[in-house]
Structure 1
């Protein structure tokens, strides 16, 4: 049996708390089954890069990590990955920063990952590279002589051609994707944007799932990621979740809860969400004192200036809304800058009559699926979902909105609060069916089976090649 080698920016080791994300759980399961290895950055900084690999094994999952220099983190992670690619791929060209040092650091660190991983890889291993931090890694592994089956999955949107061409050396970066055998995206929209770029900018050809450039053909597919729906549903009725549910409900004093859970990031539409909620309070004074918005927004990437700006903006907006509408025993906004374990988060979701998931652009957005999975089947809440989230292509029975429009946010909250139980149950049942059927295991199999098919094609052709020789 072939081993699976997972390579990503960060490694998530299994833990007994049960609070790992769905992606980490799915990959860990695959690594156990195949006796594979997860390779990535340790998260630690070293004064001088030595190439030393830290090996570990936790609950049957082997990991191999390296420490990076401070300059590496500044240029590769904070720089090219999160100041250049992240804003550009989320359609925020106004925030993208282009610097030669960033690009140089990005390529240098990818080469370090290639140097680290290549001695660990055996000829029959399957290599699965993840996300925008590692786009050129496949080509660097090929340059070291590796002929393994290799796949790449992009967990964020692929931008339209008209935006991608603003990236210096964009064709050189995209060319490296043709070192992989299978390239995956969450939605048909992102896949179509990739195809369009290959045809229009690089003169490649597209034939169904097969994309050809300069004589090299790869498979490019849409394969939406899911969650472990059954596990999350169980977590929603666990002791920890039930305790959190009761705590939240007591604090609300019979008021309706609207919940948002997002990393503190400009792509999540938090400023627009607060403005839409303020519009709701302005237009519907009859709902004052009867509703509370709880926004959970753990800080992220604090070293990046644009993230500091969004935090300051939200602090000010939450204060302004509470200052304008609060009463002595009611505040319309609870703004929380901390994260919660998954079981407690499931209890918060279950306590909320409305899940407000309104990113301006998102590859998928698993919070939407988690909110659905956490609901009480007999009294489910209503999901309000941005049509610009990847999840909107699957969760069509959510209330789909334009997050840029305060009026649509306000109207959707009003509609959700008044929605009859039978309609809530019908919408939830439809969404839950999708969440359960296209879960995290389905996603993993969808992608890895394509890579296995590449192997079968090679094996089927091998006798013919030998005969021809």
Structure 2
């Protein structure tokens, strides 16, 4: 069996037991089954004059191979092009993009360096799986070094429509680089269609078959692979004596009879201020919910060195304070805002104990919180999922209450509908949703991608498509 080589911006610590349900454990399991390497940044930043060397560690059948970034690389590759250009642009937020020629140079430079370090570790029959927007040009750099392995790429975030992608600096270079992969995977059919449309309309491409694209002298396979969760593992965490104790403790401490929960990284793509405005509108339109419903919003910090993230934190804290100031009473606080990471087993219990899961990103590649909320529910008395139409998960989870997160009144109405839904309808919706979540679980995602990659070797007129 060929070794598997996984490339991602950050490398999981495979020496520790990772809590069940996460993406990291699914990838680590694949590496343990096949043997291989997990390659990426080690999370450290060194001085610009320090030599960059690979550190290799062996953990049974799995190796981790990591590199540090120097301060210049971190500023230009990671903060600059990856998170100030690609992230906002791919989430349809061109207004938040910060274009700087140095950041583009840094993005190229780091991908070249990572390719050089990775190429030295590869064996001829290794299967290489590259993850996410940080490494779009990595295969092109590997091909330039003579690497002929099968290489697949999976984009975890959305791929924007052609008109938005056109505004991304060096967008044609990025599109060309994707044709150095044998397989390019997206979260949804919509994302896949956006990429195909760009190639056909702007790159004079051809589509020999439904899942193949030809452009820049190369052919690649292009398909959606909706990512999922480990359903049984997450359900098990939500259904333990410890979880039940946590649920009862939460209910004892809260005077409210119902709880709405939102769990999102503190990110402008998640629509958090819009969510709080919708909850405030719920209290305005349906006053019977005052003292009866609480919104618990858990938003761990992320990328605090990017200005847009500190802005969203200030706005969210201001809104939650304003709502609590206007509506709270001695024995009831409408918004419980938690700005720190919560252990996954605690989240599972919180999901199970919440009447409504509120997942309303303005744009999201998939959103696994929606699937985790469904998995955690008590089948006899399930909660209701209110889901943004602009989350990738909405393409599959059609039995959720789907909403436009920009429409405050629509979300407020959906919350009222969810809070008052009859148990028969809740059970019917949940039964359909849990079936869909099981069908597209994380194992199905992983194995379907790798199976397709093993079969996707395309002859190349130009192995250095750059």
TM-score, reference length from structure 1? 0.95
* Alpha-carbon distance between aligned partners in 2 of 1:244 and 1:191, rounded to the nearest angstrom: 41
- Deviation, structure 1 residue 26: 1.0
For residues 438-453 of structure 1, the aligned pairs below 5 Å read 438-453=440-455
- Cα 1:5–1:16 shift into 2, 3 Å: closer
**Scaled by the length of structure 2, what TM-score is found?**
0.96
For residues 440 and 165 of structure 2, what CA distance do their matches in structure 1 show?
30
Deviations 1:257-279 (A, max 9, x none): 00000000000010100011111
**For residue 170 of structure 1, what is the aligned residue in structure 2?**
171
Residue by residue, what CA displacement relative to the aligned partner does 1:129-155 show, whole Å, maximum 9, x if unpaired? Answer: 000000000000000100000000000
Residue 159 of structure 1 corresponds to which residue in structure 2? 160
**Equivalent residue for 1:357?**
359
Partner SS for 2:454: helix
Paired residues of 1:14 and 1:20 also in contact (CA < 8 A): no
Which is further off, 377-386 or 14-23?
14-23
SS at match of 1:298: coil
Contact 1:13 1:61 survives alignment (8 Å) = no
- Alpha-carbon spacing, 1:327–1:254, altered in 2? closer, same or farther (3 Å): closer
Q: How does 1:111-130 map to 2 (within 5 A)?
A: 111-130=112-131
Shift of 1:20: 6.1
Unaligned runs of 5+ in 2: 460-466
Q: Which runs of 5+ in 1 are unaligned?
A: 459-469
Per-residue deviation, 1:436: 1.0
1:274 aligns with one of 260, 269, 276: 276
Partner residue, 1:465 = none
Q: Compute the displacement of 1:453 (Å).
A: 1.1
Q: 1:205 to 1:133 in 2, by over 3 A?
A: same
Offset at residue 242 of structure 1 (A)? 2.8
Distance across 1 between alignment mates of 2:17 and 2:10:
19
Aligned equivalent of 1:228: 230
Residue 29 (str. 1) matches residue 45 (str. 2): no
- Whole-angstrom distance in 1 between the partners of 2:383 and 2:176: 45
Counting matched residue pairs gives 457
Structure 1 residue 144 and structure 2 residue 169: aligned? no
Distance (Å, rounded) in 1 between the aligned partners of 2:236 and 2:139: 38
Give SS of 1:94's match.
helix
Deviation at 1:239, TM superposition (A): 4.2
Aligned to 2:250: 248
RMSD over equivalenced CA pairs, Å: 1.4
SS in 2 for 1:454: coil
- Aligned to 2:247, what secondary structure does the other structure show? helix
Report what 1:371 is aligned to.
373
Task: Tell me the equivalent position of 1:195.
Answer: 196
Whole-Å Cα distance in 2 between the matches of residues 454 and 157 of structure 1? 23
Work out which structure has the larger RCO, using CA pairs closer than 8 Å and 6 or more positions apart in sequence. 2
Which residue number in structure 1 is paired with residue 4 of structure 2? 4
Relative distance call for 1:268 and 1:395 in structure 2 (3 A) is same
